[in-house]
Chain A
């Protein structure tokens, strides 16, 4: 019996270890796993002579990038990933950085590395900037007036992830709540009715979840003819200016009410967040106007 058990354990052990290794790398340090988090900057790369990082960004011999070039925590490569204090001011040297890109621009030249606004898809003469289509699509679609299924869009990433390379997964308040939501049948019926009524599309992911493009239309007006293809119907706005707000008379009373809770949150997260109360002046890249509630009401219904 003992022999059978031992054999069983021996047979299972490598499989168990391998499973644990795949799932638990976050419980290990870099020194143990030799694995960097997803989308992490590469290490051991040689910096160009022209690149001049700040003095406390320590390089390895031969101008090689290492953990402590960017991170100021002591022996960080020995700390398991899930134990690293990402809120510590020196997690990223000179931090915290409310605007994360400000950290990158300490080495990378801002002017040369700033992302172009690929949503500006039209030249001044109305021609399509084809190179911008290729940011998200594998090929330029010349028949844009013809509605296509998500599977035929030839996107470089699954449709629910395609925005996330440039935009944060947390681009605005209430975003995570929506991204996790899976509309129930009743809501889906209402969405269908509203989409038909307004001549728009309100797509959901393959898993039936809300995604960025459920509300946002990535293409500005004039790229897809909205009269022929509901994917092109959207609010008219200035893609270069983006969303604009104006002050609201309730801002003061709102801020005063939130102060206590924001201070409490600051104590636990060590990050100060302000919550302004603003009225939308102009919006852009939305399938329906949100500033009059139409977009929200195309999914949400109320009894009273």
Chain B
């Protein structure tokens, strides 16, 4: 019976383990032996466009910066005499480097910084807690650490596109008919309104009355 159960579930376990390995490589945290060819990052980039570096798109800017291919594909002098060992070092040196991409595209925003420019499937880069109806449950976590949200959501438009939306009759941040009902809540906790609205937002209507 045990053997039967094992034979049914073992392939699944093996698959899980492989997926785990691949994830580790995607995060560039694992050294791989030479024979594990299809787990190497340059094999993965054929399957994941978001770890493919569009070389031609960068040629001009690299030249302006005074850099070239050799910046990422280092040809620095080596004292390692063993070819196998040097290949391992080269592998580490050549691996696609998130902090370098993000240095221009995220931190300095010198380069286009829309996430979907490179990451065509946002689910691949989502934190785990985003996977389960996070849109309707993000408020509390966001309030605890807004900076954490801003590591990916670089533009406040990402928030205001929903929270400030007025062109819909559907349920935005506030429930339908909230304009009529907001008085009580705004008196109980005016600071909560103030997270998104400034005084002018209130006085535009209330002063006119």
Selected from A170, A243, A278, A303, the residue in CB contact (under 8 A) with B78 is A170
Does residue B149 face the partner (Cβ distance < 8 Å to A)? no
Give CA–CA (A189, B171) in the complex, Å. 61
From residue 81 to 96 of chain B, which have CB atoms closer than 8 A to chain A? 81-83, 85-90, 92-95
Give CA–CA (A300, B59) in the complex, Å. 13
Does residue B79 face the partner (Cβ distance < 8 Å to A)? yes
Chain B residues within 8 Å of A253, by CB: 99-100, 103
Does residue A100 face the partner (Cβ distance < 8 Å to B)? yes
**Contact between B56 and A265 (Cβ–Cβ < 8 Å)?**
no
Of all chain B residues, the one with the shortest Cβ separation from A101 is: B79
Task: Knowing A170-B83, A256-B99, A275-B93 are in contact, say whether A293-B74 is a contact too (CB < 8 A).
Answer: no
Does residue A40 face the partner (Cβ distance < 8 Å to B)? no
**Contact between A290 and B70 (Cβ–Cβ < 8 Å)?**
yes
**Contact between B29 and A280 (Cβ–Cβ < 8 Å)?**
no
Task: Knowing A250-B100, A261-B31, A265-B92 are in contact, say whether A292-B75 is a contact too (CB < 8 A).
Answer: no
Number of A-B contacts defined by CB within 8 Å: 129
From residue 137 to 194 of chain A, which have CB atoms closer than 8 A to chain B? 168-177
Does residue A55 face the partner (Cβ distance < 8 Å to B)? no
Tell me how far the C-beta of A281 lies from the nearest C-beta in chain B, rounded to whole angstroms: 9
From residue 51 to 80 of chain B, which have CB atoms closer than 8 A to chain A? 54-57, 59, 62-63, 66-71, 73-80
Of all chain A residues, the one with the shortest Cβ separation from B75 is: A172
**Contact between B85 and A290 (Cβ–Cβ < 8 Å)?**
no
Chain A residues within 8 Å of B87, by CB: 176-177
Does residue A271 face the partner (Cβ distance < 8 Å to B)? yes
Chain B residues within 8 Å of A269, by CB: 85, 88
B90-132 CB contact bits vs A (8 Å, 1 = yes)? 1011110111100100000000000000000000000000000
**Contact between A170 and B71 (Cβ–Cβ < 8 Å)?**
no
Tell me how far the C-beta of A216 lies from the nearest C-beta in chain B, rounded to whole angstroms: 11
Of all chain B residues, the one with the shortest Cβ separation from A243 is: B77
**Contact between B68 and A290 (Cβ–Cβ < 8 Å)?**
yes
**Contact between A174 and B71 (Cβ–Cβ < 8 Å)?**
no
Of all chain A residues, the one with the shortest Cβ separation from B87 is: A176
**Contact between A98 and B99 (Cβ–Cβ < 8 Å)?**
no
Selected from B81, B94, B98, the residue in CB contact (under 8 A) with A168 is B81
**Contact between B70 and A280 (Cβ–Cβ < 8 Å)?**
yes
Selected from A100, A243, A293, the residue in CB contact (under 8 A) with B62 is A293
Does residue A304 face the partner (Cβ distance < 8 Å to B)? yes
Chain A residues within 8 Å of B69, by CB: 290, 293, 296-297, 300
Chain B residues within 8 Å of A250, by CB: 71, 100, 103
Give CA–CA (A303, B49) in the complex, Å. 13
From residue 252 to 304 of chain A, which have CB atoms closer than 8 A to chain B? 253-254, 256-258, 260-262, 264-265, 268-269, 271, 273, 275-280, 290-293, 296-297, 300, 302-304
Chain B residues within 8 Å of A271, by CB: 80, 85
State the A residues within 8 Å of B (CB).
86, 98-100, 168-177, 243, 245, 248, 250, 253-254, 256-258, 260-262, 264-265, 268-269, 271, 273, 275-280, 290-293, 296-297, 300, 302-304
Query: Could you list some 23 contacts between A and B, CB below 8 A?
Result: A168-B81, A169-B83, A170-B83, A174-B90, A176-B83, A176-B87, A177-B90, A250-B103, A253-B103, A257-B28, A258-B92, A261-B29, A261-B92, A261-B95, A271-B85, A273-B80, A275-B93, A278-B76, A279-B71, A296-B68, A296-B69, A304-B55, A304-B57
Given A176-B86, A290-B69, 10 further pairs, Cβ under 8 A: A174-B93, A253-B99, A273-B80, A273-B89, A275-B76, A275-B89, A277-B74, A292-B68, A293-B63, A304-B55
